[in-house]
Structures are given as structure tokens and as C-alpha cells.
């Protein structure tokens, strides 16, 4: 309809209506006139004096300029220890092994120094090594170095035939034999001959001890079956303190480390982080919030992911090893555990039954692998398990010692004297004999003795636990990639914080077109509501003729009602979240990246 202002003659009074009725033979009531359409060419007349509405009336218009989002911005996230712990579970971290630490070289270096820390008297052919460990700072249960576990180890590794004490062992009577026959060098020389070593050479070698410690103590631990210590990402993140439990007591195993000396080391550094870089998929779309009577500018940030293979990632991060940036790590990292070998609570005697029986039936072989006696005996057997065809006579064969001779097993040692002079020792394996001699020597502490079960050799060896940035990146990258979405979400931050309940917004199509979008229920609206009853844009104010569509060329989205803007001005109508109807006039210039919008509420 059109307003016709030229015909504003006062026809509202009853007299005017009566006059008109005389000429047309009709008389209209006021109610009927409200809807009457004249048939004489005035069907387009709309009276402005209240008889009929003048068409849709809109309130004050407001103008906005909406711009497309800029190009995706770079995004970066520094995963510090706190964030890494939130991304990777403890179990996952424990499965990431940065390296395996071999303790053998460090222990060998330590022992080479320790054996001389109490003096070098043991290297001479003399019965008393004259130990003096006062400068070491070692302290045992009574706060003296004489009872320290470190001194126990020194004695173990510096026992030679020259300083051997046979007292309390099954070969103690060898001293009587040597004395009765005046054997040159005494029982000490006879022992050296039997073992095939110099009289001042160590009976238990450092190399043999280290090898057996690894095989018997380390490898028998459930968490170190390969003889090395796994340096896990979990350990490094936690300052290596998890090793106290990892390599401590486990089941029947007493542990590799002495629990009284806990370990720690800064492998990664206090400020450790792994940085990942990429591109944000969060696009902030400019839109308009339509209220009951007034409008305001608003924004709707949303994820626009076209990269794949998933299409809902807030960012695309490069999580491969070469792309990750690991913070500068300490140039070196050292952890110094105290290793300990525990002995049994009673003296373990040599087996003297027969070579066949004692090969496996000796009491020592029933002991746990990690026990001191088992370690010493195993090392000795490894050293002398091939010693055979040895036969030596002393003083015109008044005394004779045979090892693996006359059909006996290698290592099986037999002592004999004419007429039983000096009561020669019972036959036994060389390694059983060595174990007894070491037990007796380790328990000697000057004029005193250490109680059984209290001689537990211990030492500290610094272990290199340094790792490189490249190693960290290579090992951790696959685990981070498995949590890509979680990390990308952290990188994007609270990207919805600035969102408003916009009623429409400007967005680019995948083909480069400029489009006007109506919100969908899946959009991140701060109110969390979707109160629309008329969804989309319409060509009429009654919201019956749909102007928009969910499926249009230029975009794969099918969830939103949308319009592709053509150059020029387009007028559509839309319902606001408040339920009000608004006129939306959009002006777009060809090739532009923005649109001018004028909105006005229906009154």
C-alpha cells in the first residue's frame, strides 16, 4: 500500500460519511471502513487518520561496519612442567625413556680410587695393611671409619694372600701345616700358589666385583633387568627423585641404592619447557547483537579448521621432533647414589662333601643373588672355574695341594700331608674357600670384629644423567602428538571469553565469497541458549519467505543459515534472540572484505 497525502480532506466526521453514503447508497461503520478497499481506483489509498495501519513501522536505524576476520594468526605454547603434567599422565611419562644409564664404568672408576683411600700398605707382602681411613670422612654405626660400610668394601677388595687371616675358616689348619713343615712364605704363600696369583695380588679383583655386582645385584632387580638404569622422562621431570623408589627395595630384593642416601639431580633444569608453534584456527567474526529495541556490535569467535584430518582443532601445531623447541638444558647433570650390598646374618661355610655335590649343593648357591656372599663366590668362580691339573708339593711332598687334578672337577681343591701332619683342610672348591676368607677379613676391624650381618659394603659413584635437547624432543614428540587436541586447546587459551550472543555475523566462504551467517545452536554463545523460533534471514517482515539457506555454494557448512552477499544492497529480516523482528540492510562492494549494515527494529 501507499500513503496518499493529497487526499487529506476531513472525512472522519459522521456528516462526511453520511454525505458519501447518499451518493453511493452505502453507509459504512467506522469498523467496516478500517478494512474497506474501494473498487473505484482507490484500492491503494491508505488513510492516515487511524482507520488503517500504514504498513510496518521501524524504529531508529543503527549502522555498523562488519569486517571479515584477519588471516590466521601464529600461535605458540610453552609446555612447562606443570602443563606437561596436565597433558601426559605419570604412566605415559614413565614409558618415555630418554636413555639407559650404565653404572659399571662409574663404579669401576670409584673402586679404583677407593682401594687406596685408606693407604697402600695392602699392596706389599705384609700381614697388616695398616689401614688408615681417617681422612675419608667415612662413618659407621659407631661413628668411626672402622665400622663404615665403605671400609668393608676396601677390605674386601684389598685382601691378598699376604694379609689373609685364616682364623675361623675351613682352611685355618693350612697355617698349622705350613708351620709344621716350615714352608717358605707360610700358609700365605701356599694360598697364593693355589690361586695362581702373586702373594700381594688382590684375591677379589675390582673388575670381577663390578661385573658380578651388575649381574647379581643390578640385573636381579625387577626395574633393571638389562643391568642399566632407565632414565625416564618422568624421572627427569621430577628431579630424578623417582629413582629412589624405582631402584630401591622391590619385593624380596633389598634394592640397588642405599635408601638412607636419597638421590636427586636437575636433569632438565628448573625452567624446563617444550615450545610448540603453529597457526590458530580461531577466527573472531564481527557481528551484531539485536536487542528488543536497540542493537550493539558483538563478536563471535569460532573454530574454522580446514586443515584436517580432524576439523575441530582450535589450532594447528607442529608437534614433530624437529619443530619442537626444547629449553636450554644443563650442560651436565650428575646423580650420586650410594650403592650397597647386604650380607647374610650368619657365616656361610664352604661345602666339603664332594665336587659333584658341592658344585650346586654348596650353601652359598641357595642364597639370594644379591647377597654379599653370593656376589663374592660368583666372582671367584668366574675367575677360577677353569683352574685344573694343578699339583704342587711342599717339603718333599710332605704337603701336597691339588686343584682339578686326577679326574676331579676344575676348581676342586684337595689338601694332603704325610701322616696327616697339621691336619690338612677338607677338600672344597676354590671359590668357596675365597668366600670364607673374604667373610673373615671383612669382619675384622683392627683388634675387634664386626658382627655377622653388619658388614655391608657400600660406596657412592657419580652417574652421568645428562640428556640433550634433541633426545628430549625425539622421545617426547610422539607422546605429545597423541595429545595434539589437548595441547592445541591450551595454546588457543580461553578464546571464547570475548564472545557475545550475536544474532548474525560476517564470515568468509571457502571460495572467498563474503557471507552473512545466522547463528546455529552449536555456536559458542556465552548464554548457552538458542531461543530462536524463526531461524535464518527472510525476505518479508512476517518471516515467512526464507532468503537464506543452510547449503549454499562456497561453503561446506550445513549447520548455519547463510547468505552470499552480492555487490549492492540487500534488505532482509531476521528474528533476534529476544524474539523481536529486525530489518537488516546489508551493503557490500565487490571484492571487499567488509560490509555496511543498517538495522532497525520492527515497532
DSSP track, 477-512: HHHHHTTHHHHHHHHH-STTTT----SEEEEE-TTS
Same domain? 67 vs 50: no
- How far is it, in rounded angstroms, from Cα 166 to Cα 546? 109
- How far is it, in rounded angstroms, from Cα 27 to Cα 298? 56
38-52 burial: b if 16+ Cβ within 10 Å, else e: eeeeeeebebeeebb
| Among candidate residues 363, 420, 352, 355, the one with its CA nearest the CA of residue 385 | 355
Helix H or strand E segment including 181 = helix 173-181
- How far is it, in rounded angstroms, from Cα 364 to Cα 372? 10
245 in a domain, yes or no? no
Quote the number of domains for the chain. Answer: 2
Same domain? 8 vs 68: no
pLDDT tens string 282-336: 999 999 999 999 999 999 999 999 898 999 999 999 999 999 999 999 999 999 9
Size (the chain), residues: 603
Same domain? 4 vs 68: no
Residue 512 has pLDDT above 70, yes or no: yes
Same domain? 506 vs 551: yes
531 in a domain, yes or no? yes
349 in a domain, yes or no? no
36 in a domain, yes or no? yes
CB atoms within 10 A of CB 513: 16
Report, as an integer, the average pLDDT of 253-261.
Answer: 96
Same domain? 554 vs 532: yes
Residue 448 has pLDDT above 90, yes or no: no
CB neighbour list of residue 142: distance below 8 Å, 6 or more residues apart: none
- How far is it, in rounded angstroms, from Cα 315 to Cα 280? 4
Range of the domain at 21: 1-55
Extract the C-alpha cell encoding 23: 451518493
234 in a domain, yes or no? no
Of 11, 27, 55, the position where a domain reaches its end is 55
pLDDT band with cut points at 50, 70 and 90 for residue 55: confident
* Segment among 39-53, 82-96, 182-196, 403-417 with least mean pLDDT: 39-53
Report, as an integer, the average pLDDT of 407-419.
Answer: 97
Number of H helices, E strands in the chain: 16, 25
Instruction: Give bridge partners of residue 412 from the DSSP assignment.
Output: 429
Report, as an integer, the average pLDDT of 35-61.
Answer: 55
Q: Coil, strand, or helix at residue 113?
A: helix
- How far is it, in rounded angstroms, from Cα 342 to Cα 442? 12
Same domain? 499 vs 558: yes
Extract the C-alpha cell encoding 470: 634433541
Residue 338 burial by CB count (10 A; 0-12/13-18/19+): exposed, middle or buried?
Answer: middle
392 in a domain, yes or no? no
DSSP E strands in 327-485: the ranges are 334-335, 338-340, 390-394, 399-403, 412-417, 428-429, 444-445, 448-449, 458-460, 463-464
Report, as an integer, the average pLDDT of 174-188.
Answer: 97
Extract the C-alpha cell encoding 435: 668366600
Same domain? 505 vs 548: yes
426 in a domain, yes or no? no
Pairing of β 390-394 and β 399-403: antiparallel
Same domain? 534 vs 596: yes
Extract the C-alpha cell encoding 237: 621431570
- pLDDT the model gives residue 447: 63
Of 25, 55, 85, the position where a domain reaches its end is 55
pLDDT tens string 202-242: 999 999 999 999 999 999 999 999 999 999 999 999 999 99
Of 55, 82, 101, the position where a domain reaches its end is 55
Rounded to whole angstroms, what are the CA distances from 179 to 426, 482, 542?
18, 77, 127
CB neighbour list of residue 252: distance below 8 Å, 6 or more residues apart: 368
Phi, psi of 503, deg, nearest 5: -100, -15
- pLDDT the model gives residue 113: 98
15 in a domain, yes or no? yes
- pLDDT the model gives residue 446: 67
Q: Residues 537, 583: contact at Cβ < 8 Å?
A: no
pLDDT tens string 115-172: 999 999 999 999 999 999 999 999 999 999 999 999 999 999 999 999 999 999 999 9
Residue 48 has pLDDT above 60, yes or no: no
DSSP states of 230-259: EEEHHHHHTTTTTHHHHTS-BTTB--SB-T
| Among candidate residues 194, 149, 151, 148, the one with its CA nearest the CA of residue 171 | 194
Amino acid at each position: 500500500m501507499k500513503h496518499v497525502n493529497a487526499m487529506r480532506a476531513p472525512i472522519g466526521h459522521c456528516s462526511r460519511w453520511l454525505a458519501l453514503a447518499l451518493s453511493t447508497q452505502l453507509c459504512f461503520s467506522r469498523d467496516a471502513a478500517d478494512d474497506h478497499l474501494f473498487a473505484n481506483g482507490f484500492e491503494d489509498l491508505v488513510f492516515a487518520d487511524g482507520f488503517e495501519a500504514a504498513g510496518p513501522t521501524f524504529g531508529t536505524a543503527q549502522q555498523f561496519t562488519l569486517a571479515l576476520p584477519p588471516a590466521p594468526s601464529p600461535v605458540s605454547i610453552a609446555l612447562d612442567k606443570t602443563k606437561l603434567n596436565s597433558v601426559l599422565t605419570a604412566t605415559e611419562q614413565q614409558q618415555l625413556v630418554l636413555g639407559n644409564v650404565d653404572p659399571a664404568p662409574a663404579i669401576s672408576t670409584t673402586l679404583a680410587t677407593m682401594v687406596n683411600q685408606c693407604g697402600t700398605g695392602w699392596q706389599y707382602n705384609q700381614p697388616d695393611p695398616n689401614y688408615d681411613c681417617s681422612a675419608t670422612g667415612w662413618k659407621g654405626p659407631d661413628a668411626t671409619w672402622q665400622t663404615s660400610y665403605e671400609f668393608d668394601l676396601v677390605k674386601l677388595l684389598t685382601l691378598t694372600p699376604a694379609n689373609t687371616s685364616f682364623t675361623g675358616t675351613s682352611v685355618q689348619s693350612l697355617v698349622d701345616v705350613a708351620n709344621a713343615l716350615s714352608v717358605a712364605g707360610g700358609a700365605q704363600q701356599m694360598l697364593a700358589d693355589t690361586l695362581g696369583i702373586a702373594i700381594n695380588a688382590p684375591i677379589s679383583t675390582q673388575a670381577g666385583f663390578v661385573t658380578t655386582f651388575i649381574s647379581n645385584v643390578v640385573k636381579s632387580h625387577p626395574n633393571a633387568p638389562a643391568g642399566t638404569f632407565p632414565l625416564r622422562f618422568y624421572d627427569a621431570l621430577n628431579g630424578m627423585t623417582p629413582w629412589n623408589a624405582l631402584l630401591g627395595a622391590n619385593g624380596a630384593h633389598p634394592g640397588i641404592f642405599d635408601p638412607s642416601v636419597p638421590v636427586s639431580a636437575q636433569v632438565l633444569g628448573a625452567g624446563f619447557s617444550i615450545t610448540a608453534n603453529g597457526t590458530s584456527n580461531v577466527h573472531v567474526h564481527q557481528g551484531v547483537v539485536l536487542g528488543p529495541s536497540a542493537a550493539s556490535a558483538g563478536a563471535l569467535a569460532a573454530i574454522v579448521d580446514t586443515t584436517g584430518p580432524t576439523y575441530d582443532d582450535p589450532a594447528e601445531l607442529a608437534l614433530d621432533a624437529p619443530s619442537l623447541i626444547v629449553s636450554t638444558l644443563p650442560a651436565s647433570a650428575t646423580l650420586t647414589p650410594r650403592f650397597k650390598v647386604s650380607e647374610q646374618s650368619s657365616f656361610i661355610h664352604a661345602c666339603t662333601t664332594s665336587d659333584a655335590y658341592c658344585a650346586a649343593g654348596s650353601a652359598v648357591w641357595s642364597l639370594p643373588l644379591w647377597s654379599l656372599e653370593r656376589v663374592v663366590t660368583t666372582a671367584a668362580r668366574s675367575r677360577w672355574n677353569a683352574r685344573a691339573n694343578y699339583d704342587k708339593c711342599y717339603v718333599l711332598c710332605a704337603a701336597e695341594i691339588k686343584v682339578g687334578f686326577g679326574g676331579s672337577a676344575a676348581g676342586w681343591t684337595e689338601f694332603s700331608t704325610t701322616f696327616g701332619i697339621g691336619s690338612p683342610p677338607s677338600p672344597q672348591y676354590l671359590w668357596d674357600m675365597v668366600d670364607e676368607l673374604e667373610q673373615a677379613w671383612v669382619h675384622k676391624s683392627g683388634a675387634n670384629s664386626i658382627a655377622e650381618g653388619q658388614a655391608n659394603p657400600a660406596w657412592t659413584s657419580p652417574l652421568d644423567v645428562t640428556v640433550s635437547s634433541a633426545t628430549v624432543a625425539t622421545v617426547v614428540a610422539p607422546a605429545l602428538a597423541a595429545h595434539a587436541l589437548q595441547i592445541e586447546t591450551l595454546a588457543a587459551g580461553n578464546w571464547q571469553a570475548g564472545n557475545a550472543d550475536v544474532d548474525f555475523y560476517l564470515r568468509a566462504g571457502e571460495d572467498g565469497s563474503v557471507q552473512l551467517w545466522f547463528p546455529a545452536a552449536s555456536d559458542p554463545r556465552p548464554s548457552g541458549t538458542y531461543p530462536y523460533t524463526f531461524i535464518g534471514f527472510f525476505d518479508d517482515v512476517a518471516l515467512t519467505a526464507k532468503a537464506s539457506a543452510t547449503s549454499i555454494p562456497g561453503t561446506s557448512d550445513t549447520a548455519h543459515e547463510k547468505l552470499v552477499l552480492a555487490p549492492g544492497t540487500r534488505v532482509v529480516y531476521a528474528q533476534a534472540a529476544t524474539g523481536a523482528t529486525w530489518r537488516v540492510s546489508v551493503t557490500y562492494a565487490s571484492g571487499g572484505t567488509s560490509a555496511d549494515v543498517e538495522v532497525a527494529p520492527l515497532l
